[in-house]
Amino acid sequence: MKESPKIVILGAGMSAVACAESLLDFFQVELYEKSKGFGGRLCSKKYHETRFHLGAQFCTCTDPDFKKLLNKNNAKKFNGSMYNFFQKEEIETHQYFVHPDGMQALVRESSESLDIKAREKCIRVDAQNKIAYFESGLEVSYDILISSLPFPQAQELLEFDESLNINFDPCIAVGLMINSAIKTKYSAYQSVNQDISWAASSKFYNATIDETWVLQFSPETSRAMFDVSENQLADFASNQLNELFDSDIIIEDSHVFKWKYAQCNRLNSEKKFIALENDIFAIGDWNISPRVESAFLSGKALAKFLVSNKK
């Protein structure tokens, strides 16, 4: 019996997991993730008995298959309400989904059936001989290679010339462990000021854990402060939180996370993935729009294409 073609996927975020899960019955599939876990920008960090919710804060859902994935992985509704300072109005959250264990848990059950190799960063691809080289010294052959990396990283690694006119904004996220709960009407705030685009309590996704707050800096402030020390960033975020509530909140600990490629500016492209060569593809939310669901749709679209064209 002829062996199934081998697909190597770089990354283990939403687009990669959605793609891989749809390919398992037709191909050999291996995922290589540079971090220690899965989820990509669906990121949260455990801190004692609580969490800092640092990446994508919530997701929306319009696609039936994406709704099935959310149900399978035990997604929950956004807890509480949100206020947008720029629009000066409360934002309806009934269509927002989260996960009490952090957004990366939206792909936890799906990822358990996949062959994910963690802490493996791809540093070079020999497209002619179909070999991916990793920082650890590992060399992996493939029949089909799929990159789920942000577009600039994929472009650099795979050395393709295609220009998609996509801009990515950086984002600095600072998690703050506070000494006592903050009494506030809202669970989250959008467009707080020119420096802070998001401020939210951990209560919006898990009301049972010790309260933390995460502040995400605006693209302009993130860009300006990207090389500032973590202590300075934590102090800046602490001052912003105190200004938001006009109080003197005591910060017990903090965690800083920097996203170089946080959000793309693309909106609703019909091209849900890129075919770089006959056997190299690139997927990710940046093919469509900066939404978690877009990452899922990109991965599913490529999987459907590969299955339908399987030799």
* pLDDT for residue 1: 46
> Which tokens is 279 given?
């056997």
Is 173's pLDDT higher than 50? yes
Confidence at 234, pLDDT banded by 50, 70, 90: very high
Across 95-103, average pLDDT: 93
Confidence at 269, pLDDT banded by 50, 70, 90: confident
> Which tokens is 180 given?
């006592």
* pLDDT for residue 165: 78
CA distance 8 to 5: 10
Give the whole-number percent of the chain exceeding pLDDT 90: 75
More confident position, 162 or 120: 120
Is 210's pLDDT higher than 50? yes
Share the mean pLDDT of the chain: 93
Confidence at 2, pLDDT banded by 50, 70, 90: low
* pLDDT for residue 170: 95
* Type and span of the H or E element at 274: strand 274-277
Q: How far is CA 36 from CA 124, 132, 238, in A?
A: 20, 19, 29
24-46 pLDDT per residue, tens: 999 999 999 999 888 888 988 88
pTM: 0.93
Place of tokens 């669970």: 187
* CATH class, range 45-105+168-264: alpha beta
- Across 44-78, b (16+ Cβ under 10 Å) vs e yields bbebeebbbbbbbbbbebeeeebeebbeebebeeb
Angle between helices 14-23 and 292-308 (to 10 degrees): 30
* pLDDT for residue 258: 94
Domain assignments of the chain as residue spans, ordered by start: 1-37+118-167+266-311, 45-105+168-264
Is 49's pLDDT higher than 90? no
Is domain 1-37+118-167+266-311 annotated with CATH 3.40.50.720? no
CB 103 within 8 A of CB 54: no
